[in-house]
Structure 1
Amino acid sequence: MPTRVPTAQDTVSDVVRWAAFSCVLVPVVLVGYGTSLAGAAGTAIGLAAVTGACRVLLRRSERGAAQLRRATAPTPHHVRHGRAGAGDRRGGRHAGGNKPVD
């Protein structure tokens, strides 16, 4: 049976799902240990705010990574109009690497 590789979308969804579960579980545990309902509600609101902010940042990071992948993806030869890629077979002296010229 082939193993499915999780995508970034799946990973972000899993993180957000577990964070939402924690937003419910933590206040219930706090009330169970004797914390006031107001204190538990405040904790739940704080956790929900942090979860929302993390979700926004994760989605933004995911979009940025997708844009970076698209920008660095090699383009097909016919799209480049016959031009060589960056540094491919261009003239000049390349034997010395990145050594400074005296």
Structure 2
Amino acid sequence: MSDVVRWAAFSCVLVPVVLVGYGTSLAGAAGTALGLAAVTGACRVLLRRSERGAARLLAEERCVERPRAEERAPYHGRHGRVGAGAHRGGRHAGGNTPVD
């Protein structure tokens, strides 16, 4: 962030100097410098707030723990089904009696 602030401060100084060099009044150049300084300050505040928010979100994501193995739902087979209502292989749900 310091590079951004340095470039902004540089432009706040350079732009009025260039304006005066091209014939703009000192008052106009001073007004432009104040406007650029105000915009730079607002951008700096917003950038800081954004960085803090991003750091906070990253810290929260790191703090969220994954469930332990015994707390996770059990996984069996290709389809991950287990328990009541699960089909456990075979083509038919019925018994082993032949069909006529």
Q: Normalising to structure 1: TM-score of the pair?
A: 0.65
User: Residues of 2 paired with 1:52 and 1:28: CA distance?
Assistant: 20
More relative contact order, 1 or 2 (CA 8 Å, 6+ apart) = 1
User: Deviations for 1:30-62, whole angstroms, at most 9, x for unmatched residues?
Assistant: 000000000000000000000000000000001
Q: Structure 2: 5+ residue runs without aligned partners?
A: 81-100
Q: Structure 1: 5+ residue runs without aligned partners?
A: 1-11, 97-102
Across the two proteins, how many residue pairs are aligned to each other?
78
Task: Determine whether 1:27 maps to 2:11.
Answer: no
Larger radius of gyration between Structure 1 and Structure 2: 2
CA RMSD of aligned residues (A): 2.9
The DSSP-based 3-state class of the residue aligned with 2:73 is coil
Question: How big is the shift at 1:90?
Answer: 2.0
Task: Determine whether 1:58 maps to 2:47.
Answer: yes
Percent identity at matched positions? 74
Match of 1:84 in 2: 68
Q: Normalising to structure 2: TM-score of the pair?
A: 0.66
